[in-house]
Amino acid sequence: MSAKHRALVTAPFRGEGLETLRGLADVVLDPWIDQQPLRIYNSEQLAERVESEGADVLVVESDSVKGPVLDAPLRVIGSCRGDPNNVDVVAATARGIPVLRAPGRNADGVAELTVALLFALNRHVLRADADVRRDEVYAGGTIPYQRFRAWQLAGRTAGLVGLGAVGRATSWRLEGLGMRVIAHDPYAPEATHSLDDLLAEADVVSMHAPVTAETAGVIGATQLEQMQDGALYLNTARAALHDTDALADALASGHLGGAALDHFEGEHLPVDHPLVGMCNVVLTPHIGGATYDTEANHSKLIADGIAAVLAGEQPHNLVNPEVLT
């Protein structure tokens, strides 16, 4: 018996979610992540592909779902992102097309990278590794034990700015390491600290808020100054939350002990930026969510949502519930 629906899936899709979707539709699985060079469809390209596949179910991650794509007779659109900003939700709603999203899909992945960066920074892992590779273990007449001492994390205080999916996933991990965790989040009742109090108390400040009018540049020179001498600053959220030049100054002056960053404006850091030359800085290129589990998580969220929508129900991850009322 052939499935009733036909799904074009250009997102990575795996695991239980893929099996669920295969039970609902004939699936054309052609994920962007398998393409070299990178292939992200614009709206015209995606509209052509949707039409040629005869799809009535569309699942994407980064392709543009706007304009002509929404002229197709789609029953449902799944955007495998927390924020489905690649979809023109207003236009989809006007055409009565349900749009699904995948909140929290990468929370564990980002939280794990946050912990990895914290350890790498605090225990000087990259510098120590480099000394071994260069056979400079006894550099400058010292032994490594002299150069690479650190305070242990257990017993220290971590301050989380933002206590949503990633913040919560980071919180229990840090508590598991023996850290005291405090948080600032005006919209989460369990977050008890003002930003000022958090900055004054935390040995480690870790950013987990989205970029909004309220949070853009929230960590500037004044806030960095409020942090403790030797404090560590982590940002696995978005670079727009901090003033990068002020951060470089706070590190260069010796006030901050170090920083670890997983995101940069425009997705890159110029090679001549002061941060690049600092040995108490760890830099990664926006890989927080890059786990296979992220893909499995969004697959399940989107496939379960599609099943519910096709059954006339309203799943929790439906962005525009008004289309089903």
Ligand X SMILES: NC(=O)c1ccc[n+]([C@@H]2O[C@H](COP(=O)([O-])OP(=O)(O)OC[C@H]3O[C@@H](n4cnc5c(N)ncnc54)[C@H](O)[C@@H]3O)[C@@H](O)[C@H]2O)c1
Query: Which residues are near ligand X by CB under 6 A?
Result: 82, 104, 106-107, 110, 161-167, 184-188, 208-210, 212, 214-215, 236-238, 262-263, 286, 288-289
Residues 6+ apart with CB under 8 A from 245: none
Q: Please name every residue paired with 180 in a beta bridge, in sequence order, or none if there are none.
A: 157
What is the smallest separation between the CB atom of 149 and ligand X, expressed in angstroms? Answer: 30
- Enter the tokens of residue 59: 């699942």
Is 286 one of the annotated active-site residues of the chain?
Answer: yes
Q: Under a CB-based contact definition with an 8 Å cutoff, are residues 218 and 202 in contact?
A: no
We find the least distance from the C-beta atom of residue 40 to ligand X, in angstroms, to be 17
Please report where in the chains the tokens 């699942």 appear, as a residue.
Answer: 59
Q: Is the Cβ of residue 153 or residue 161 nearer to ligand X in the bound state? A: 161
Active site residue 267: yes
70 vs 281, which CB is nearer to ligand X? 281
**117 close to 262: Cβ distance less than 8 angstroms:** yes
Q: Of the residues 184, 238, 242, 263, which is catalytic?
A: 238
CB 166 within 8 A of CB 105: no
- CA atoms lying within 13 Å on the CB side of residue 244: 19
The one-letter amino acid code at 79 reads S
What is the distance between the alpha carbons of residues 40 and 42, in angstroms, rounded to a whole number?
Answer: 7
Q: Residue 27 is inside which H or E element, if any?
A: strand 25-29
Residue closer to ligand X by CB (options 69, 100) is: 100
Give the separation between CA 135 and CA 139, rounded to whole angstroms: 9
User: How far is the first Cα of the chain from the last one, in angstroms, to the nearest whole number?
Assistant: 31
- Identity at 246, one-letter amino acid code: A
Q: Which long-range contacts (CB under 8 A, 24 or more apart) does 148-154 make?
A: 148/123, 148/124, 150/122, 150/123, 150/124, 151/122, 151/203, 153/118, 153/119, 153/122, 153/177, 153/178, 153/179, 153/204, 154/178, 154/179
Orientation angle between helical segments 107-122 and 165-176, nearest 10 degrees: 50
SS3 85: coil
Q: Which is nearer to ligand X, 6 or 242 (CB)?
A: 242
The catalytic residue positions are 238, 267, 286
